[in-house]
Each structure stands twice: as structure tokens, then as C-alpha cells.
Amino acid sequence: MLDYNNPKFVGHVLAHPFEGFEDLRWKKKGSIRIAIAVVLLLFVAMVAQDRIYGFQFYVSYDKIFNIVPFIVQSIVLFLTWVVANWAMCTLFDGEGTMKKIFIFSAYAIIPYVACSLIGTILSNYFVQDEEVFLITLNAVGLAWSGLLVITSQKAVHQFSIKKTILLIILTLLAMIAILFLLVLLLTLFQQVVIFILSIYTEISYRIRV
Amino acid sequence: MGTLRKLTAGIAAGVMALSLMAAQVSATTYVNYNYDDWGDPVPSQAGYTAERAVSGLDIGVGNLYEPADLFIDEDDLLYIADRKNNRIVVTDLDFNLVTIYDTFIYKGEETYLKEPQGIFIDDATGYMYICDALNDRVIKSDKEGNIDLIFTKPDSILYGAETTFNPFKVCVDGSGNVYVVVKSVNRGAVMYDENANFLGFYGANTVLATSEVIANAFWNLISTEEQRLRTMKSTPVSFSNFDIDGQFIYTVTESTTTTDDQVKKLNPRGDNVLDAIEMQGANFGDIAPAYYSIYTVENAMVDIDVSDTGTMTLLDVNHGRIHQFDKDGWRLFLMGGVGWQLGQFQSAAALETKYDKIYVADVRKNTITVFTRTVFGELVTEAAGKFSEAEYNESKAMWEEVLRYDGNYRRAYTGIGLSYLFDKNYAPAMENFKIALNQYYYNQAFEGWRNIILKENFTLIVIILVIAAGGYFAYRFYRKKHPKKKERGA
């Protein structure tokens, strides 16, 4: 049973939300390559949603296109989730390693990524009256991924459902803390750079005189 | 040598011609711009240019002193309420003096104006209505200066005995009802019937439910009577001016604290019909100050004029700017600015439009500035008129001409798109609506385009679907007979 290769296991996990991740953990069939591909696809889906979503549903601001917010919203956010989850699970005796958390979480968001990509493509073929299909598709993807996130956490850390939900909430709080510290760090480094630059400028003026 | 000289002369002539042309093109003292679909200002062509500024000396009546209101009647006579000179100056549209009203006869006695603030001519009856501000009355007089009726402070509990009566602007509707804007009343215009009987108030503004207002309502619930007396009261801001066009009364509100009732188009019941075309609460003035209020002053609309075709022209005193909209709320042109040069204002007080001209009175420059429509303005106005009458095919060529003048003129794209849409030429319609950022019409064009594609390729689509389904089932059948080696062992 379950003698699938890595890509096939993805399908198994998605189709069996409750047992799939347990099987994945047991068979050790998670692939870091697929996980990275999923995160990159998340980024692609977000950019696509802003760029090529059907004009009848969404007007994108075409004057400026800045890629950085999309990177932050997809890749950086996902990595923060992984780090925060790993940091929190150590306090709760979770079994997951960083790599495992990365793989399991990436597998869990596949429905969301897929639905959002499919929705983006379909939005170019629907009129406004048919928007309900897109909304439904998006909702299904979101709900499915939400369920998978809970079960994947449960499987990767071998937690009870109560503990899993607590961990998820704490992970979200930890993410906020991490992002806050990142912003703080960035600003402080900026200050340091400015300080060094101004000293350099000052000295270079003195030397010239 | 001769050729060189010729060449130099030629270049010099060319440069001179160019600079002359440039002077003709940018003959305004302010920057011409319009707003794009994101609300950002973009350069645009001038729809109107300031032609001349007329002072009282040009008319030959001595200096005007704070001309507070203008009115043009159907005989093309311009009435100027020359406030501090206590008179009404009447000229024709070329500013040749016709007459001056300063003395009126009432019941055999002479009476004089004291700071007239507003003037209105009822074209149906030929009577003129003057807000005689410091005499606390509105007079209704014929063209010979014989006063027919005097409207004074209403003797009614509804009005309130303590409220003062200082009439500011006046207008009259088709059935003879008289509306007076009184500065000390914030419940709308004071409304009289034709015999000067007080009827009530008309078209009051509403209090915008800001966080401050809601918080005050909450504190009022729990505070004592004494505390309540000391808190700030939330009252609607009274509107500052109006104009009448057939059955509709247009009001403007000068207040800078609310944008909700900035411009209203009221039907006889007092309902704002701009609501129906989703223009209620829209920003009729400069858009940018709404976001950068720290750096700039807010809009303050002091006058509105509505033409026979429904074009609304608004006057913003804070920016000295004139905004013109057509009757569907599409922005046509912006012009003016703050300054002393021609076409700029210090404290613009009133405006009137007639034919292709806009007349603006400034109470600090003491002049009447005349704006004339440019070729571009004429083109846009004509195209907009056709557009409003849903004659999209006729207006298409005009809009294309407009785009030759100004590629930023966003409404042209909607106009061209609509003409394509009504020709069932969907692909170019979609393209134009996309540029115009008009989702509503884009959706319609897209639906038509999709239907055509589906209809034309129906057989092809069915064949592809049948082949795909057949291929899938055939593949599954084959796999059942010959399973993969890897999975057999499981």
C-alpha cells in the first residue's frame, strides 16, 4: 500500500486530508523540491492575480508595478510561518523539524494556490454575472487549504487537535512578533548606514580642505 | 554666403513662428489639467481661456466695489450686484452699460439698496428679485424699479423669533415660489409662495455621521443637562448658493468640513437626484486636496451655474478654480487659479455662463473675468452633448478628434468604445473600455464578444470535448488491461 513516488504522494495527501499527512510522515515521501515549487507558485499566483485577472472583475493599478510587496506577501510570509511554527513547536514538544514543517505546510497550501491560479485564468472567460463561480472556487480552495493546514500541523508535530489549534494561534502571534522585529532591525540598520555614510562624507570634505 | 544668410533667416523665422504658436497654445496663466481615472492630475488642453477682465471703468460706471453676484437673463443682459456701491449695474454681454438700479419706488416712496448680495431675474414674469442684505429684505421689483413685493423675516414659530434674517442669495421656480438662502439658517433655503407667505424650508443638508458626531451622541446620552449645554452641537452646514434649471434646484455648500453635500441637484420634493447617478458624495472640486489636506486648502464651492443643456459650472473660492461637469456628472474642464493675473482670482464670488462664455465676479479684484471656450472646448462640449443624448455613432468622430488634441481625455475612450459597442464591434470596444477603465461597459462588450466566439466555434468546441472525453476513457480502459509494473506489486 501507498507505494507511490513523491509527486504521486501529493495527490494522495490532497485527496485524504485526515490520513494523508500521517501517511506522508510515515513513508517519509515529502519532497523539498516540490515544496519549494509550491511556494514559488504561490508567488506566481499572487502576481498573476494582480496582473492578468479579468478586467471586468478587477482593475489593477497599472501606473506602478512593484514586485517587492508580492515577494513579501508570499515567500517571506511563508518562511516566517515556518520559522515561527518551528520556534513555537519546540516549546510544545512538537516533533517537526524545520524541513518537515516546510514540506508539510507547502503541501497544505496547494489547494489554495491551485484554485487561485485556476480562478485567475477562468476570470478572463466569465462575465460579471458569473462571478459567483469564482467566489465559490476561491472559497473552496481556502477552506480546503485551511483544513489541510490543521491536519498537517497535527501530523508533523503529532499533537492532539486542541494543541494543534493552540499552536497555530501562537504561531500567528509569533509571526507578528518576528515581522515587527524585522522591520525594527531594518530601520536600525538604515540608521547605522546613514550614520556611517555621513561620517564618510564629513571626513572626505575635511580631507579635501 | 547668401545661402547661409537665407538659412539663418529661415531658421529665425521658424523659431519665431514656433514661439508665436506656443504662445497661442499656452495662453493661460495657470496650468491646464484634468483628472485621470485614478484621481491623479494629468496635463490637459485648455477648455476655456480667459479672454479679458472687465472693471467698472471699462463699463463706465466707476470702479465696482465687491461685485457679489451675477445674473444673465434671457435677453442677454448681465446684472451685477455691486455690493459696496449699493447698486445693480446692468450691461449687455459686451459690457455696454444699459442701466443702473439704485433707487426703487415702494408705495410712492423712494427706497435704496444697502449692500445687495444676490440678484435673480424671473424670466417668466420679468420681475427681478434682489437680496437687500443690510436692509434685511428681499425685494421683488419690475424693470422700471417699482417694487411689487417685499419679502421679510417670516413671522412664524418655525423660523424662530431670535433668528436673524440676512438674505444672501435668491431664486424663483416655475410656479412662483421664492427660495432665499439666509446665512443664519441651516435648515435649508427659506421658501415663500408668490404672495410672500412663508412656506417652510427647502433642501436642508444632513449631518455627516463622522466619528466625532457619533461620539458626541454617545456622551449626550450619559451627560447631565448642564454638561450638554457646553458640548458642541452637531448641526448641518447650510448651503451657500444655488441655481435653478426648470424643475431642479442645484445647491452648493461652501463648508470645508464636509464633502457629502458639496453639490446637490434637488427635485421639487427636496431629494438629491445626483444620488441616482451615484454622484452623491463625489468630489466635485479638486481631488488631490482630499488626500493632501495638510498641504493644501480644501475646496469651498461658492457658486453654481447650470446651462440649458444641464452643464454644471462650479466655482471654488479657495483655489480660485472653475470646475465644469456635464449633466451626467462627467468632468469636462478645470480652469483658473489663485493670483492677480488674468484668469486667476483672489476671492471669486459668483459666476454665470451664457453661450460659450463664463463670467466670473471677483470681490477683491473688483472685476468680471470673461472666459471663452477654445476649439478644443467646443469639440468636447459638442461630443459630450451627443454622448448624453446617446448618439454614440455621431460622437465617435468627434471623440477621435478630441484624442488628437489630448490623449489623456479619458471620457473620449468611453465614447468611442460605446459607439463600437452599439455597432456590435466588440473587440475594439473592449480595448477602449479597458483604456477608459470602465468595467461596466467592458463587461457588456466582453459578453457580446464571448457569445460570438462561442457561436462561431461551437462545432469545434464540441468536437474537442468529445475527443478529449473519448481519449480519457480509452486511456483508462487500456491501463486496466495493462497496469503499470510499479503499481502492480502494491
Q: Which tens digits make up the pLDDT trace of A26-45?
A: 888 888 999 999 999 999 99
Euclidean distance between CA atoms B229 and B259, whole angstroms: 28
Rounded to a whole number of angstroms, the distance from the CA of B209 to the nearest CA of chain A is 30
Q: In this model, does residue B456 exceed pLDDT 70? A: yes
- Residue B52 in grid coordinates: 479679458
- Residues of chain B contacting A6 with CB distance shorter than 8 Å: none
Average pLDDT score over residue span B81-102: 93
Please state the three-class secondary structure of B365-397 as a single string. Answer: CCEEEEEEECHHHHHHHHHHHHHHCCCHHHHHH
| pLDDT tens-digit series, residues B132-152 | 999 999 999 999 999 999 999
> DSSP string of A122-167?
HTTT--GGGHHHHHHHHHHHHHHHHHHHHHHHHHHHT--HHHHHHH
**Which of A9-23, A164-178, B188-202, B253-267 has the highest mean predicted lDDT (pLDDT)?**
A164-178
Nearest Cα of chain B lies from the Cα of A12 at a distance, in angstroms, of 14
| Residue among A107, A54, A118, A116 at smallest CA distance from A78 | A107
**A3 phi, psi to nearest 5 deg:** -90, 50
What average pLDDT does the structure give for chain B?
85
pLDDT score at A8: 84
Q: Does B434 touch chain A (CB under 8 A)?
A: yes
Q: Do B489 and A55 touch (CB under 8 A)?
A: no
**Domain locations along chain B:** 44-203+239-373, 392-456, 458-488
pLDDT band at B3 (very low <50, low <70, confident <90, very high): low
Compute the average pLDDT of residues B323-350.
90
Angle between helices A20-27 and A98-108 (to 10 degrees): 140
Task: Kindly tell me if the per-residue pLDDT of B328 is higher than 50.
Answer: yes
- Split at pLDDT 50, 70, 90, the class of B23 is very low
Q: Which pLDDT band, with edges at 50, 70 and 90, does B24 fall under? A: very low
Closest Cα partner for B329 from B312, B314, B308? B312
Q: Which of A53, A56, A131 to mutate to test the interface with B (most CBs of B within 10 A)?
A: A56
Query: Is B26 an interface residue toward A (CB < 8 Å)?
Result: no
Place of cell 525594527: A184
Tens digit of pLDDT for each residue in B216-262?
Answer: 778 778 877 777 777 666 667 778 888 888 788 888 888 766 566 78
CATH of domain B44-203+239-373: 2.120.10.30
Q: Tell me the one-letter amino acid at B155.
A: D
B53-78: pLDDT as tens digits: 999 999 999 999 999 999 999 999 99
User: Residue B274 to residues A167, B307, B351, B393, B426: CA-CA distances in angstroms?
Assistant: 53, 17, 22, 27, 31
Q: pLDDT category, B9, cuts 50, 70, 90?
A: low
pLDDT of A24 > 90? The answer is no
* d(CA A29, nearest CA chain B) in Å: 16
Q: Out of B447, B486, B487, whose CB is closest to A127?
A: B447
What residues 47-86 of chain A have any CB closer than 8 A to a CB of chain B?
Answer: 55-57, 59, 61, 63
Q: B22 or B217, which is more confident?
A: B217
Please tell me if residue B447 touches chain A, with a CB cutoff of 8 Å: yes
Tell me the mean pLDDT in the region B383-405: 89
C-alpha–C-alpha distance, residues B87 and B59, integer Å: 14
Please report which confidence band the pLDDT of residue B289 belongs to, taking 50, 70 and 90 as the band edges.
low
Residue B26 has pLDDT above 90, yes or no: no
Determine the average pLDDT of the residues in B343-370.
Answer: 93
Higher pLDDT: B186 or B358? It is B358
Which has more confidence, B247 or A54? A54
Contacts of B442 in chain A (CB under 8 A): 55-56
What pLDDT shows up at residue B481? 84
**Percent of chain B scoring above 70 in pLDDT:** 88
- For the sheet containing B241-245, what is the strand order? B241-245, B248-252, B263-266
* Selected residue of B431, B441, B446 to mutate for chain A interface (largest A Cβ count, 10 A): B446
pTM: 0.78
Mean pLDDT, all residues of chain A: 92
What pLDDT score was predicted for residue B20?
47
Residues B362 and B369 sit within 8 Å (Cβ to Cβ): yes
Query: Considering only CB atoms, which chain A residues are within 8 Å of B487?
Result: 3
Is the confidence at residue A209, as pLDDT, over 80?
A: no
* Nearest by CB: A56 against B446, B487, B489: B446
pLDDT tens for each residue of B176-224: 899 999 988 888 889 999 899 999 888 887 776 677 777 777 877 887 7
CB atoms within 10 A of CB A176: 11
CB–CB of B439 and A125 under 8 A? no
pLDDT digits (tens, 9 = 90+) for B408-449: 888 899 999 999 999 999 999 999 999 988 899 999 999 999
Helix (H) or strand (E) holding B151: strand B147-151
Residue length of chain B: 490
Would you call A127 an interface residue with chain B, using a CB distance cutoff of 8 Å?
yes
Closest approach of A44 to chain B, Cα-based (Å): 24
Q: What is the pLDDT of residue B183?
A: 84
A125 at the B interface (CB within 8 A)?
A: yes
Query: What value of ipTM does the predicted structure carry?
Result: 0.82
